[in-house]
Amino acid sequence: MDTIATTQKLNNDEIFDLMKQFITEVIGEEFVEEMDITPKSSFTKDLEMDSIEIVSFSEKIKTHFGEQIDFTGWLSAMDLDQLINLNLEMIINYIQECQSSK
Amino acid sequence: MAKFVFIVPPLTGHINPTLSMGAVLIQRGHQVGWITLDPDLAFKLPEGGELLLIKYNESDQQKQDSEQYLDIITKKIVYGIDSIKFLYEEVLIPLNRHSYDGIVDWLEKYKPDLVITDHQMFAGAIAAVNQKIPYATSVTAPAAIKIMDELPKVHEWEVNQIVALQKELGMDKLTSIACSGLLTMVLTSKEFFGELELPACYHFVGPVINRKPVNAYFDWDLLNKINRPKILVSIGTTFDHEHKKNFFAKVIEAFGDEELTVVVVSEPSLFEMWPENFIVQRMVPQLELLPHLDAVVCHGGHNTVCETLMNGLPMVVIPIAYDQSHVAGRVVRVGAGLRLNFNRFKARHLQEAVYEILQKEDFKTSALEIKRSFIAAGGTEAAATLLEKFSVNEPLFLLNS
C-alpha cells in the first residue's frame, strides 16, 4: 500500500484523508475512532503523539510521496515551537505547494 | 589518593549512580564529595562521603524564589515534545543558574582533582572550566545525547539553551560543554543505546546500579505465597497525583483478580481499595525485588529500565514525558518489551501487553542479551577506574576541548 507512486495531484480532502490513514496506522484504529481529527488538529497537543510517533508518521509520508516532496527536509527545518504547533493543515499546505510547483 | 567531587541535580535517578561510583572511589582510598542543593542527600551518601551543600543567604529573595523549579517538575502535566521545552525553560536552566555560584564556592574551597558533573548540571561544567579544574560528565539519561535524524532542531534548541547560559556565566563558546571532552561516561551499553557516531571521549560503562539496599519493609511471604507470575508496576518518583490516579485506575482494571501477583509502587491512599492480588507500597526494595519477578511495567525512566534489563526481565514501557519516549523506543527496538501510549492506552491494552511479554519467550531472551552487554560494559568498577585515570596529571590543554 505504501509504495503507490502517486502521479496525479491530490486535493486538500484527499490529502487530509491520507494523513488520517497514516495517523491511524501509527496510533491504531480504535484510538482514532474516538478522536475528532480535523485539519487544525496539532500532533502534540490534540493528537497527543510523542516525538517517536511523529517520526513514524513522517516515514509514512516519505514512503508514499517518495521523490515528489522533500518531507524530511521540510520537517527537519522546524524548530521546537513549530514542531509543538505542527498541525495537519500545515502538512496539507506543504504537500499542495510541492504539487503545484511540479 | 585523589579528591573527587560529584555535582548532582536534585533528581533521584541522576543521583543514585553517583552514590555507587563514589562508594567504590572511597573504598579505593580516595576523598569524595557531593555538591548538591538537597540536604537530604546526607542520608544517602556512602560512608566517608562528604556533603557539600549549596546554601545561599536567606535574605536573598531572588535565590529563594528560584528554588521553585523543584516543585514545578512534579506538578505540571507535560507531554511529548512540549515537555522538552518545559524541562529546559522551567527546570534545567533556572536550576543551573541558581546552582552556579554555590558550585563555584565549593570548588574554591574543596579543590578537587576531578569534577564529575551530571549532563544536566551543565553549571558544574561551566564552573569547572571557569575554575580551571578538569571535569568528567556522567550521562545518566543517555537518550539526551541522542539526536533524532528527522528532528535535528530539537537537539539544536537544547544546545542553544545551554550555550546561552554559558554566555551568561562568562563563557564565550558556541558549543555546549555539558558533555566533557575529557571523559563522558554514558551509563548504558552500546547495544542498548543504539548506533551513533560519538567522539572517543565517550565511554559506555553500562548501568551503575549496585547501590546500597533501600531500607523499605517488604512482605516476602506474601509475595511468594501463591505460585503465579509476579509483576512490578512503577511510574517513578517524578509525576504528580492526577497522572498517577488515572494511571493506576487502569492498572487496577487490567490486573484486578487476574492470576498474577502485582506489586505496585504508589501511595496506598491513592485508592480506598486495591484488589486482593495487589501489594501496594510507597517504596519497595526494588533491587532486591526484581530477581523474584517475571516482568515489569514502567514509565521508561532510565534507571528502572536498566535495573529491569539487568535482571533479564521483559517489560511494558508507558512513557510519559522527557526522554522516556526514546528509552521506550530502545526497549522495543532491542526486542525486550512492548510500549503503550500513556494518554491513550486502556486497561485492556495493558493486560494484553503484559500477557504477551510473559508468554512469548523472545522478549526474555532479548532482555538477557542486553543484560550480557551491560555486564560486559563493566559498570561501577569500570566507571571508577576511568575516573581514577583522569584524576591525575591531565594536561590542561585537554580541558574545554
In sequence order, the 6+-apart residues with CB closer than 8 A to the CB of B374 are B188, B189, B192, B206, B207, B306, B309, B310
pLDDT at B63: 58
Measured distance between the N- and C-terminal CA atoms of chain B, rounded to whole angstroms: 26
pTM of the model: 0.86
For residue B387, what are the CA distances in angstroms to B183, B203, B384? 8, 11, 5
Q: Are strands B230-234 and B135-139 parallel, antiparallel or unpaired?
A: unpaired
Task: Kindly report the number of other CB atoms within 10 A of residue A102's CB atom.
Answer: 8
CATH superfamily label, A12-100: ACP-like (1.10.1200.10)
On whether any CB of chain A is under 8 Å from the CB of B148, the answer is yes
B74 close to B50: Cβ distance less than 8 angstroms: no
- Nearest Cα to B387, choosing from B31, B16, B9? B31
| pLDDT < 50: residue spans in chain B | 395-401
B32 close to B38: Cβ distance less than 8 angstroms: no
How far apart CA A48 and CA A42 sit, in angstroms, is 8
On whether any CB of chain B is under 8 Å from the CB of A51, the answer is yes
On whether any CB of chain A is under 8 Å from the CB of B82, the answer is yes
pLDDT at B401: 43
pLDDT in tens, A11-36: 999 999 999 999 999 988 888 888 88
In sequence order, the 6+-apart residues with CB closer than 8 A to the CB of B195 are none
How large is the average pLDDT for residues A79-88? 92
In sequence order, the 6+-apart residues with CB closer than 8 A to the CB of A73 are none
pLDDT in tens, A58-73: 999 999 998 888 888 8
Contact list, B156 vs chain A (CB under 8 Å)? 79
Q: Which three cell numbers stand for residue B177?
A: 560543554
In sequence order, the 6+-apart residues with CB closer than 8 A to the CB of B14 are B8, B118, B120, B140, B141
Task: Kindly report the number of other CB atoms within 10 A of residue B280's CB atom.
Answer: 19
Burial code (b: 16+ CB inside 10 Å, e: under 16) for B127-138 equals bbbbeebbbbbb
Contact list, A27 vs chain B (CB under 8 Å)? 341, 344
How far apart CA A60 and CA B353 sit, in angstroms, is 25
In sequence order, the 6+-apart residues with CB closer than 8 A to the CB of B87 are B73, B78, B321, B322
On whether any CB of chain B is under 8 Å from the CB of A27, the answer is yes
Contact list, A45 vs chain B (CB under 8 Å)? 82
B386 close to B183: Cβ distance less than 8 angstroms: yes
How far apart CA B20 and CA B3 sit, in angstroms, is 16
Which residue in the set B85, B328, B344 is minimally distant from A84, CB to CB? Answer: B85
Which residue in the set A27, A52, A58 is minimally distant from B329, CB to CB? Answer: A52
pLDDT at B77: 67
pLDDT at A72: 84
pLDDT at A89: 95
Q: Where are the domains of chain A?
A: 12-100
pLDDT at A88: 95
Q: Which residue has the cell 533491587?
A: B287
B7 close to B117: Cβ distance less than 8 angstroms: yes
